[in-house]
Amino acid sequence: AQKVTQAQTEISVVEKEDVTLDCVYETRDTTYYLFWYKQPPSGELVFLIRRNSFDEQNEISGRYSWNFQKSTSSFNFTITASQVVDSAVYFCALMDYGQNFVFGPGTRLSVLP
Amino acid sequence: EPEVTQTPSHQVTQMGQEVILRCVPISNHLYFYWYRQILGQKVEFLVSFYNNEISEKSEIFDDQFSVERPDGSNFTLKIRSTKLEDSAMYFCASSPPTDTDTQYFGPGTRLTVL
């Protein structure tokens, strides 16, 4: 069965620090998709990225970057030079080839001024 | 900028009643999704919809749930006989045909079942 683990329940950093949110997944499928979502205090969900299992190239989008390592079944998310507006709960998710979609429990990031 | 809208923002209902949650996806989008989040818990996928039929559904999406695209703009989630444990925030999302890797979320509907 597929599973997503986000071991960090809460992280606090000071503004301008870099922070990495960990995501470890389990699946028996060789074809799958990985996602990251942001949920700010206002409650809405914001899609950040989707990556398929055949694309191990790291992705950078502004201050955000993602490190996909199949060897360790990890899809970690790094925010560079964090800002207060980055404070949110971040969810990692997995969709396997059988279309089963599982979210991790989320990591609450607090960026302090 | 076009956005996904959802109505109502908050729905209160009695246990056993039927509710319909409405979503208006972005106009040229063809892929639609429903997720829910029980307060303080993780997000759960319910269903995805494409070409007027369900593409995938989770174990949560049992016979009490149904989805429909009754016209060219709305995408609805119906819960036939609500239970207390259906109380949650329900999020709709859509994806364009040219970029199915990206999902655009609505603001959510908070459903409270009494």
Show me where the domains of chain A are located. 3-112
Backbone angles phi, psi at B2, to 5 degrees: -65, 150
Compute the average pLDDT of residues B55-75: 91
Residue A65 vs residues A31, B3, B109: alpha-carbon distances, Å: 22, 25, 31
Pairwise CB contact (< 8 Å): B93 & A105: no
Computed from CA positions of residues A2, B85, B89, B74, in that sequence, does the dihedral angle turn out positive or negative?
positive
Q: Which domains does chain B have, with CATH numbers?
A: 5-103 (2.60.40.10)
Q: Which fold has domain A3-112?
A: Immunoglobulin-like (2.60.40)
| Residue B101: pLDDT over 80 | no
Pairwise CB contact (< 8 Å): A103 & B89: no
Chain B within 8 Å of A54 (Cβ-Cβ)?
no
Predicted pLDDT at A17? 97
Q: How far is A48 from chain B (nearest CA, A)?
A: 8
Q: Which is more confidently placed, A60 or B10?
A: B10
Chain A within 8 Å of B38 (Cβ-Cβ)?
no
Chain A within 8 Å of B32 (Cβ-Cβ)?
no
Predicted pLDDT at A99? 61
Decide: A34 and A25 in contact? Cβ < 8 Å: yes
Residues in chain A within 8 Å Cβ distance of B111? none
| Residue B1: pLDDT over 80 | no
Predicted pLDDT at B12? 97
Chain A within 8 Å of B53 (Cβ-Cβ)?
no
pLDDT in tens, chain A (113 residues): 789 999 999 999 999 999 999 999 999 888 899 999 999 998 888 999 999 898 888 888 899 999 999 999 999 999 999 999 999 999 999 987 666 778 999 999 999 99
| Residue B55: pLDDT over 80 | yes
Q: Which among A91, A106, A99 has a CA at the least distance from the CA of A32? A: A99
Best mutation target among A9, A101, A102 (most B Cβ atoms within 10 Å) is A101
